[in-house]
Amino acid sequence: MLQLDSHPTGRHFLQIPGPSPVPDRILRAMSLPTIDHRGPEFGVLGRQVLSGIRQVFKTQHPVIIYPASGTGAWEAALSNTLSPGDHVLMYETGHFASLWQKMATRLGISTEFLAFNGSDEHLPQAPGWRRGVQADLIEARLRKDSEKKIKAVCVVHNETSTGVTSDIASVRRAIDAAGHPALLMVDSISGLASADFRHDEWGVDVTISGSQKGLMLPPGISFNAISPRALEAMKSAKLPRSFWAWDEIVEMNKDGYWPYTPNTNLLYGLSEALDMILGEGLDKVFARHQRWGAGVRAAVNAWGLPIQCADPAVYSPVLTGVITPEGVDADAVRRLIHQRFDLSLGTGLGKLKGRMFRMGHLGDSNDLTLVAMVAGVEMGLKLSGVKLAGSGVQATMDYFAGHAAPAALQKAA
């Protein structure tokens, strides 16, 4: 049992970029009694969430919901569309892109990992981990593949390890410009429902997502949005799959049911989340996250610390990575902030370990919770002996005060 008696007063500040803070409304919806997953009420719930989630992916085609973390949905995307020894082109934007590439290799897929080939003054060990996908590199590689050996192009939409987004429409244009038949698979585990995403319009064949980031749910369900071309590819794909197999699930989903026991209470939560997100309107949801991101970046700029994302055109609206000065262990700063202020920040992953930390601005947040997060980080940096150029708290307050949320987001007077 968790030692709740030692829990500090007030709310914990869960400012990692997923799991994100879950709104009380969603927690309450999840607390309803579990029902028979073969009974009539369940079919209503199943059909409702399966139709609502398509609106979030912006697709007319099936979306599969798995009782699994995002990693499971990565495996589902690969195993349903590819055969052993198939060659795929992946793009190294950060730690999550690297983990997906490692998984593909373990599944017996032959992978080629494209990366930014320039240099970086702050992070010479990982120059590509500060930028988004360069579609021209993908186009050039596909043009050289005259025998069409490359079966899929795999990219991450919002690289959660770095706070960098990638322009997915430009990747689709690159594939089309090269006249290449490869499938386009996109990890939008942390982008969906926070950053603009359009499965059909951008010609994505499989989009992978998860519950615990933009959808504001606890971890435990994940998604594959699938195009007709991906469903067609499934018919000849030879990688072993059973639990992940799309065909049986798509068939039973037509009536709102699953071949096995789905995650009933998380589906109650999903239903509530869809009401909240679609009720607010996706464009407003995206604008809200953009504004939060700008407010938090104002703090980092005021501190005079480098933002992990080196290209302002692709700043993530979901999280902001902060590079600590040479010699300052970012994990020690995080630990101190957690101990002193009950605030959890994201750690530096993989090649970034100890060199940066991540501040999430997603889930059940608002201007004041984000000002509080910035305050916790500012106190922690000072206590760690980091020389700051100015006050980030002041900069964030100035940003939010000076950039009122659109009227629709404000409370009535």
Asked whether the CA dihedral 233, 237, 241, 242 is positive or negative, the reply is positive
Q: Is 132 in the site for ligand PLP (CB under 6 A)?
A: no
Residues 315-334 that bind ligand PLP (CB under 6 A): none
C-beta of 98 vs 384, nearer to ligand PLP: 98
Of 6-14, 67-75, 194-202, 250-258, the window that binds ligand PLP (rule: CB under 6 A) is 67-75
Q: What residues contact 146, with CB distance under 8 A and at least 6 apart?
A: none
Of 47 and 351, which CB lies nearer to ligand PLP in the complex structure? 351
Quick one: which of 347, 336, 341, 342 has its CA closest to 381? 336
How far is the CA of 44 from the CAs of 36, 215, 252, 307, in angstroms? 12, 21, 13, 46
Measured from the CB atom, the residue of 187 and 378 that comes closer to ligand PLP is: 187
**Residue 258 binds to ligand PLP (criterion: CB under 6 A):** no
Can residue 363 be called a binding residue for ligand PLP (CB under 6 A)? Answer: no
Q: Is 346 in the site for ligand PLP (CB under 6 A)?
A: no
Torsion sign over Cα 81, 85, 89, 91: positive
What is the closest distance, in whole angstroms, from the C-beta atom of residue 164 to ligand PLP in the complex?
11
Burial 41-50 (b: 16+ CB within 10 A, else e): ebeebbebbb
Q: Is 272 in the site for ligand PLP (CB under 6 A)?
A: no
Q: Is 18 in the site for ligand PLP (CB under 6 A)?
A: yes
Binding to ligand PLP (CB under 6 A): which residues in 89-128? Answer: 96
The CA-based angle 373-377-383, given to 5 degrees, is 145
Residue closer to ligand PLP (CB basis): 71 or 83: 71
Q: Does 69 bind ligand PLP (CB under 6 A)?
A: yes
Nearer to ligand PLP by C-beta: 319 or 393?
A: 319
224 lies in the site for ligand PLP, by CB under 6 A: no
Find the distance separating the first CA and the last CA of the chain, reported in whole Å.
45
- Rank residues 127 and 220 by Cβ distance to ligand PLP and give the closer one: 220
Cα angle for residues 174, 175, 179 (degrees, 5° grid): 115
Indicate whether 207 belongs to the interface with ligand PLP (CB under 6 A): no
For ligand PLP, the binding residue among 50, 156, 192, 371 (CB under 6 A) is: 156
Quick one: which of 157, 206, 207, 174 has its CA closest to 318? 157
Residues in a beta bridge with 34: none
Q: Got the DSSP string for 52-102?
A: HHHHHHT-SS-EEEESS-HHHHHHHHHHHH--TT-EEEEE--SHHHHHHHH
Asked if residue 185 binds ligand PLP (CB under 6 A), the reply is no
Instruction: Tell me the CA distances in angstroms from 187 to 31, 236, 250, 347, 407, one per residue in order.
Output: 30, 23, 20, 20, 33
Q: Considering the complex, state which of residue 167 and residue 187 has its C-beta at the smaller distance from ligand PLP.
A: 187
Task: State yes or no: residue 160 binds ligand PLP (CB under 6 A).
Answer: yes
Q: Which two tokens stand for residue 147?
A: 């025998």
At its nearest, how many Å lie between ligand PLP and the CB of residue 92?
13
Nearest CA-CA partner of 135 in 155, 119, 112, 151: 155
Residue 210 is a binding residue for ligand PLP (CB under 6 A): yes
Min separation Cβ 350 and ligand PLP, Å: 12
Part in contact with ligand PLP (CB under 6 A); list of ranges 1-9, 31-39, 186-194, 226-234 = 186-194
For residue 195, give the DSSP letter.
S
> Using CB under 6 A as the criterion, which residues of the chain lie in contact with ligand PLP when the complex forms?
18, 69-71, 96, 156, 160, 187, 189-190, 210, 213, 219
